[in-house]
Structure 1
Amino acid sequence: MPPAVRFGVNYTPSEGWFHHWLDFDLDSVRADLDSIAALGLDHVRVFPLWPYFQPNRTLIRPRAVEQLVALADAAAERGLDVNVDGLQGHLSSFDFLPAWTRTWHRRNLFTDPDVLDGQANLLRTLAAALADRPNFIGMTLGNEVNQFSAGPHPDPDRATPDEIEAWLSRMLAACEEGAPGRLHLHAEYDATWYQDDQPFTPGQAARHGAVTAVHSWVFNGTAQRYGRASVPSEHHAAWLVELSKAWAGDPHRPVWLQEVGAPAPLVPPEHAAAFTEATVANALDCPDLWGITWWCSHDVSRSLADFPELEYGLGLLTNDRKPKDTALVLERAARGPSSTPAARRTALVVPADPAARSRCAPGGPVFEAFFRLVADGARPTAVLDSRAADREHLAARGITETVTADQVLEGGTRS
């Protein structure tokens, strides 16, 4: 029997946001974790800010590491497991990069040998500090680090896919050295799946690390183009889960829906619960789903300036730790009975060429075809065009028919 799907939340401290590391208050953290555990969730994803933990390339602050361990121990006391993002990186429109990588010390995050040494040391140190904690799930390399590697970032650290391949291999190895046998992974925003010139490729996302992580945000053009209650918006997370499987080597590789939320005003607060319920239900209909981790736990305080408007209200809980309707939806799902979804028998053919990824993005023909199938009552998955005739691969995934985007959009014959 497959393990039950995990339900968790990305932990955003109610006091001080992620700047709480500067004035770490364990009692406040405990109160936050109490409000999360009360929802029946089983894990949190935690974000140590890179410049606060490693302000100099050869200085990892022992006190900061101790505070991270204290947070993990407080989570354990409340029955919560902990995943830690190491190179943090980018959060809620702000970049947090140490001074030894910027301006007068400008060095590439993905290729400079000294930067790589520093990054690997931090990841190894954080993993080792938590390695003996039973509730430590493992490390995520960082939050959507691919946004630093290409446009639309205003000052990207350019790298080739081969250089990213080497970076991923080394950083994941550092995590494994620090905490052998844990669930170590990397996570990107959806440009990996949709942007033709992204050096972080779908194949890397689906083959490096213990699980594939996908981050689903309908402000990427989905809600704007199709509407908040449309089939594409309510099934967007499920689409990314199934799209990721096309590139996986293991036909049953687990996929973690590591970030998903209800962003206002595209999803108005009065509709957030319905959006949450639909998104969760559709994701749970995806086989091999490891877990759903909602963004985020607590609202950002209005006393903090300069956030995009949508960031202030994304929490399951208010700034004073009161659950919203979205929290109650996630609680029902977390406490509800688990079931194993049937295999998805119909596979939409997607291009294996990373330079054609935009065909899978909102407005692209593959994207349109997938949701045409869903609207017609199908439960499609995705398969690479290079594997569409591989009977052994199709059988291993339970696929019994394949169909191209042209066939779906033009009403042609399936194979």
Structure 2
Amino acid sequence: MPAAVRFGVNYTPSQGWFHHWLDFDLDAVRADLDSVSALGLDHIRVFPLWPYFQPDRALIRPRAVEDLVRLVDAAAERGLDVNVDGLQGHLSSFDFLPAWTRTWHRRNLFTDPEVLDGQAAYLRTLAAALADRPNFLGMTLGNEVNQFSAGPHPDPDRATADQIDAWLERMLAACEKGAPGKLHLHAEYDATWYQDDMPFTPAQAARRGALTAVHSWVFNGTAQRHGRTSVATEHHAAYLIELSKAWAEEPHRPVWLQEVGAPAPLVPAEHAAAFTEATVANALDCPDLWGITWWCSHDVSRDLADFPELEYGLGLLTNDRRPKDLARALSRAARDHSYAPAPRTTALTVPADPAARSRCAPGGDVFEAFFRLTADGARPTTILDTRAADRDHLAARALTEVVTPDQVLRTPRGGTRS
């Protein structure tokens, strides 16, 4: 169990959003990082935009890499560690892919040999440039790159689960080659856990890389179905943390809540602080939590066009670097270093078959049963249905009770399961 949970933020520059890489202003970055550090946070996650850094398969721009190193050094001066996302990829509803993978040069992101060579070289280069920085945590392969591999993306790069597994193995190896021993991982949006035909699988998320990352957004049907202050909405991040443990091979594999935010209008601005407090408190009730990294640091400027409305107001800080109430809520949690959750001893069975993972999504029987148990005070975790009778596995995870969704949902509230 970690001695303390890490608290950080996904860094969205206050000036120019992620387009700031085009005309990098170190003074503006320093001012942004000062406002982050003042909240008592200890790390940031940063996002080079892939086509800006590698506009040609054979050209990784030295100046762009130098700017990334300067950002990491500026973070170190403020006591902030840094995780770097490589393949951007997809951010805030926009896709950023280099021209050598699209239209006339259309090649599959996950299977084309030349694209894979280019990606591996890029990830290795970024990692190597930062390998000697003590505050460099490691690489995340990219931001929610699974959204490119299946619907609802309008032009997906189709691949099989085996092909994705090979892709993950190669890209993680490239990061390790560039920066040996760092915390390298991959991270997807929740379709990995919820969508039956998603080739990025829960097993890959829970077994590949240094730790498991989950991204929690309650606009996925949770808040729409259950409401803003419901058990399901306020515990959704905790649910994903515990859901991931069903597939993990290591009994105490660390889990990083790498993205979580308060999206309007489902979580109105005046209720964002309360949502933040509840979400963080419930996540902290999960054993083996590595850290919580809020989305995001600063609001998107209204000078920029075409973002979905919710994206403009997700920041802990305004566009002019003033903290909001939800920033103060996160700051209070970050300054309270107590973290000693009791073990979760009741496990809900989930289907091992990835073609049935929609049962874990909002409205599915696993999802609904988990929150029935939560509402009844059971503090559940999850276990694969194929492991439910494995005594060694149960003992390694300190599990004393295993229940099925059917047992939970057919029992009257407050009743006894049989």
TM-score w.r.t. length of structure 2? 0.99
Alpha-carbon distance between aligned partners in 1 of 2:255 and 2:114, rounded to the nearest angstrom: 33
Partner in structure 2 of residue 60 of structure 1: 60
Matches within 5 A, 1:303-314: 303-314=303-314
Separation in structure 2 between the aligned mates of residue 283 and residue 265 of structure 1, nearest angstrom = 23
Residue 268 of structure 1 corresponds to which residue in structure 2? 268
Letter in 2 for 1:235: H
Q: For residue 293 of structure 1, what is the amino acid of its counterpart?
A: T
1:157 and 2:132 correspond: no
Residue 14 of structure 1 contacts residue 298 of structure 1 at CA under 8 Å; is this kept in 2?
yes
User: 1:203 is paired with a residue of what secondary structure?
Assistant: helix
> What residue in structure 1 maps to residue 222 of structure 2?
222
- Could you say which residue in structure 2 is the equivalent of 1:143? 143
2:326 is the counterpart of 1:356: no
Alpha-carbon distance in 2 for matches of 1:300, 1:274? 22
SS at the partner of 1:125?
helix
Instruction: Compute the RMSD of aligned alpha carbons.
Output: 0.8
Contact kept? 1:350, 1:366, Cα under 8 Å = yes
Provide the C-alpha distance between the structure 1 equivalents of 2:287 and 2:5, rounded to a whole number of angstroms: 10
Tell whether the 8 Å contact from 2:2 to 2:290 is kept in structure 1 after alignment.
no
- Between the aligned partners of 1:322 and 1:336, the Cα distance in structure 2 is 22
SS in 2 for 1:74: helix
Partner of 2:98: 98
Secondary structure in structure 1 of the residue aligned to 2:387: coil
Q: Name 1:391's counterpart in structure 2.
A: 391
Contact 2:196 2:358 in 1 (8 A): yes
- Distance in 2 between the 1:282 and 1:268 partners? 20
1:14 corresponds in structure 2 to 14
Secondary structure at the aligned position of 1:209 is classed as coil
Q: Deviations over 1:292-336 (max 9, x none)?
A: 000000000000000000000000000000000000000000001
Measure how far apart 1:3 and its partner are: 2.3
In the alignment, does 2:296 pair up with 1:293? no
CA distance in 1, matches of 2:338, 2:166: 38
Check 1:376–1:413 CA distance in 2 against 1; reply closer, same or farther (3 A cut): closer
- Per-residue CA deviations over 1:94-139 (Å, capped at 9, x if unaligned) read 0000000000000000000000000000000000000000000000
Tell me the residue number matched to 1:343.
343
Given that 1:276 and 1:329 are in contact with CA atoms closer than 8 Å, whether structure 2 keeps it comes out as yes
Task: For 2:370 and 2:2, locate their aligned partners in 1 and report how far apart those are by CA, in whole Å.
Answer: 27
Q: Report the number of matched residues.
A: 415
Look up the SS of the partner of 2:219 in the other structure: helix
Deviation sequence 1:9-31 (CA, Å, 0-9, x none): 00000000000000100000000
Partner of 1:255: 255
| Equivalent-residue separation in structure 2 for 1:336 and 1:206 (angstroms) | 28
How far did residue 162 of structure 1 move? Answer: 0.2
SS class of match (2:293): strand
1:15–1:301 Cα contact (<8 Å) kept: yes
Question: 1:150 and 1:2 mapped to 2: Cα distance?
Answer: 35
For the 8 Å contact 1:402–1:414, the answer to whether it is kept is: no
- Deviation of residue 338 (structure 1)? 1.5
SS at match of 1:186: strand
Q: Aligned partners of 2:252 and 2:340: how far apart in 1?
A: 13
* Equivalent position amino acid for 2:161 in 1: P
SS at match of 1:171: helix
Counterpart position of 1:210: 210
1:189 is matched with which residue?
189
One-letter code aligned to 1:403: V
SS at match of 1:52: helix
Tell me what 2:32 maps to: 32
1: CA distance, partners of 2:5 / 2:229: 25
Query: 1:331 — aligned with what?
Result: 331
Rounded Cα–Cα distance in structure 1 between residues aligned with 2:249 and 2:366: 21
Question: After superposition, what is the alpha-carbon deviation per residue over 1:65-92, rounded to whole angstroms, capped at 9, x for unaligned?
Answer: 0000000000000000000000010000
Give the drift of 1:414: 4.7
Residue 337 of structure 1: how far off its partner (Å): 3.0
Q: Which amino acid aligns with 2:374?
A: V
Q: Post-superposition shift, 1:340?
A: 1.3
Identical positions, percent? 86
**d(CA) in 1 for partners of 2:3, 2:214:** 19
Partner Cα distance (2:130, 2:2) in 1: 27
1:316 — aligned with what? Answer: 316
Instruction: Check conservation: 1:401, 1:414, Cα contact below 8 A.
Output: no
Provide the C-alpha distance between the structure 1 equivalents of 2:2 and 2:383, rounded to a whole number of angstroms: 23
- 2: CA distance, partners of 1:140 / 1:3: 23
CA distance in 1, matches of 2:139, 2:37: 21
Q: CA–CA distance in 2 between the matches of 1:237 and 1:170? A: 29
What does residue 4 of structure 2 align with? Answer: 4
Structure 2 unmatched runs, 5+: none
Counterpart position of 1:70: 70
**Counterpart amino acid of 1:279?**
T
Taking the aligned partners of 1:43 and 1:236, their CA distance within structure 2 comes to: 23
Give every structure 1 segment of 4 or more consecutive aligned residues whose post-TM-superposition deviation is greater than 2 Å: 412-415
